[in-house]
Amino acid sequence: MPRELTVDELLLKGKLDQAAKLLSYVVTDKDVYEEIKQFGSSKRTTPEISFAQVLGNHERATKGAVLKFSNLKNALEQAYTKKTSEYELDADLLDFLVENDCGIWCINPLDDYSDNNRVFTITGHPIDEMIPESPGYIYGAKNAGDIIVNEEYVNSNPVLVITPKFIIIEYPIIDDDNGSTNPGGSIPSATPANKDHEVVKLTHIKLKTVWNTIFWTRTFKLYVVRGQGAYNPTNFTLTGNFPTSIYILLPREYARDKKWYPVNIVWDTKRNKEKTQQIVGAYRHRNKGTYKISGTVGYKTPDSLSIGGFNGNISASAELEVTGMGLGHSDWDRDWFYNTNHLTETYKGNKVRQTSNVFDFTLSISQL
């Protein structure tokens, strides 16, 4: 059910809607469009810019680039004078956007859409998140007054949002192999690594990157996968596969606030001594883009095979290509896993693990 907006919220919502109409006219300019692509393409280092930065003609320095918006500034000021009457713009609109720290957010990069679908729809933030939709504007479009921007619309069309609060965000560079594999050295073990029949559960996850969590996406479809080696005792060969794929529907508030989310799903039904090395990976499922999870899996052949003249550790490569956005992957040595399981940082008694710098999780161990 919608909630009743306060007087200040109604004022803010009206200003954002006016700004959306104004920007829909401005973004048709070729030079402005090119500037907006600085935070609207797949190579962007940030998904947004503030009106204070634009109208103050300030450069925006990010980790990967310096963004400039002089054409956008000039076009906004000129269009505001030209379109005030047509769009019924308030006399203090531009000042309001600056003073209240409003911004422009590109939800998904243009590259997510087809080459013939690169026209931005502009919308104001709905303010009331219980009704996650708002009017959208495309200058000159015949149906411009009938566009409703919501989660389904954003999935099919590029959208710029006039935001009520500018948030400084830089997309993290996902660092695979973060804290993974056997670090070497002597680590005192709180849990002996020779236990053979144990169940490992994925207990909690935490997403530490920001997409469009403050807008319309209600849930995030995440997968955590496990790769291991399938041993063939007939010809003594090992083949890599991915027998575990855990599907998690992460609610928006957990993603937005970067909170731990309970999962409690079996990760490995039998973490025995033969599985010397596995692969762990995570990704966000989307209908666009691909991500490759790959690494090395290991297996220790049973001692009984020494009678046949073959015994030892063997390895193989394993690879899985998925649809969506990667959250990192790494190889895991079994002894390293056990030997580090008691170390800090922990959450609810379990060691905090990572597939990358943007995705944390914990695993619990129980004896069969």
Local confidence band at 185 (pLDDT 50, 70, 90 cut-offs): very low
Local confidence band at 232 (pLDDT 50, 70, 90 cut-offs): confident
Terminal-to-terminal C-alpha distance of the chain:
47
Starting at the earlier edge strand, list the strands of the sheet with 359-367.
Answer: 261-268, 198-207, 359-367, 350-356, 346-347
What is the C-alpha to C-alpha distance for residues 72 and 89, in angstroms, rounded to an integer?
A: 18
On the question of pLDDT at 190 being above 50, the answer is no
Per-residue pLDDT reduced to its tens digit, 2-19 = 668 888 889 999 999 999
- pLDDT for 179: 43
DSSP 12-45: HHHHHHHHHHHHHHHTTSHHHHHHHTTTTSTT-S
User: Mean pLDDT across the chain, nearest whole number?
Assistant: 82
Return the closest-CA partner of residue 134 out of 142, 124, 120.
Answer: 124
222's enclosing H/E stretch is strand 219-232
282's enclosing H/E stretch is strand 277-300
Query: Regarding predicted confidence, which is higher, 108 or 56?
Result: 56
What is the C-alpha to C-alpha distance for residues 241 and 234, in angstroms, rounded to an integer?
A: 18
On the question of pLDDT at 45 being above 80, the answer is no
Give pTM, 2 decimals: 0.65
On the question of pLDDT at 184 being above 50, the answer is no
Cross-strand partners of 321? 292
Percent of the chain exceeding pLDDT 90 equals 42
**Tokens 């079996």 label which residue?**
266
336's enclosing H/E stretch is helix 334-339
Backbone angles phi, psi at 339, to 5 degrees: -70, -15
Query: Regarding predicted confidence, which is higher, 275 or 75?
Result: 75
Per-residue pLDDT reduced to its tens digit, 142-162 = 555 689 998 789 888 999 999
Local confidence band at 132 (pLDDT 50, 70, 90 cut-offs): confident
On the question of pLDDT at 304 being above 70, the answer is no
On the question of pLDDT at 164 being above 80, the answer is yes
Give the range with max mean pLDDT: 43-47, 175-179, 212-216, 261-265: 261-265
Percent of the chain exceeding pLDDT 70 equals 82
